[in-house]
Chain A
Amino acid sequence: MSAVNHSPSADAILACEGLSKHFGGIRAFTDVAFQARRGEVTAVIGDNGAGKSTLIRCLVGVHVPDAGDIFFDGRVHPFANPDEARKAGIETVHQNLALIDELTVAQNLFLNREIVRRIGPLALLDRKAMKQQARAMLSRLSINMPSVSQRVRRLSGGQRQAISICRAAGSGAKLVVMDEPTAALGVQETANVEALIRRLREQAVSIILVSHNFDQVRRLSDQIWVMRAGRMVATVRASETTGNELVALVTGAA
Chain B
Amino acid sequence: MSAPAENASSREAGAAEESPPSLAALLLDPSFWADWASVVGLIGLVIVFGIAQPVFLSVANLQALLLAAAILVVLSIGQTFVVATAGIDLSLAAAVMLGAIILGLVDAAGYGIFLACVLAVAATSAVGFLNGVLITAGRIPDFVVTLGTLSGVTGLGLILSGGEPIMVGSTFLLRLASGSFGPFGYPVWVAISAVLVAHIALYHTRFGVHLLATGGQVESASALGIHTNRVKIAAYTISGFCAGIAALLLVARIGSAEPQINTSLLLNSVAAVVLGGVSLFGGRASILGPAIGALMLTALVNGLTLLSVSAFYQPLAVGAIVVLAALIMRYKK
Binding site for B on A (CB under 8 A): 82-83, 86, 94, 96-103, 107, 111-112, 114, 116, 122-125, 127, 142-147, 149-150, 158-159, 162, 188, 191-192, 196
Contacts and interface: CB of A to CB of B under 8 A. Distances in A.
Interface residues on B, range: 20 to 34
Nearest to A195: B1
Interface of B: 1-3, 6-7, 10-11, 13-14, 17-18, 200, 203-206, 208-210, 212-213, 215-217, 219-221, 223-226, 279, 283-284
A83, A96, A124, A125, most chain B CB atoms within 10 A: A125
B206 A102 contact: no
A86 B225 CA distance: 9
Contacts of A124: 200, 204-205
B198 to A, nearest CB: 14
Contacts of B3: 188, 191-192
Contacts of A86: 225
Contacts of A103: 209, 212-213, 216, 283
B209 A144 contact: no
Contacts of B204: 124-125, 127
A198 B14 CA distance: 26
Given A82-B225, A103-B212, A123 B7 contact: no
A144 B2 CA distance: 6
Given A112-B210, A146-B14, A94 B223 contact: yes
Contact of A100 (B2, B205, B206, B221): B221
20 contacts: A98-B224, A99-B217, A100-B213, A102-B216, A103-B213, A107-B209, A112-B210, A116-B205, A122-B205, A125-B208, A127-B204, A143-B1, A144-B2, A146-B11, A146-B13, A158-B1, A159-B1, A192-B2, A192-B3, A196-B1
Contacts of A149: 17
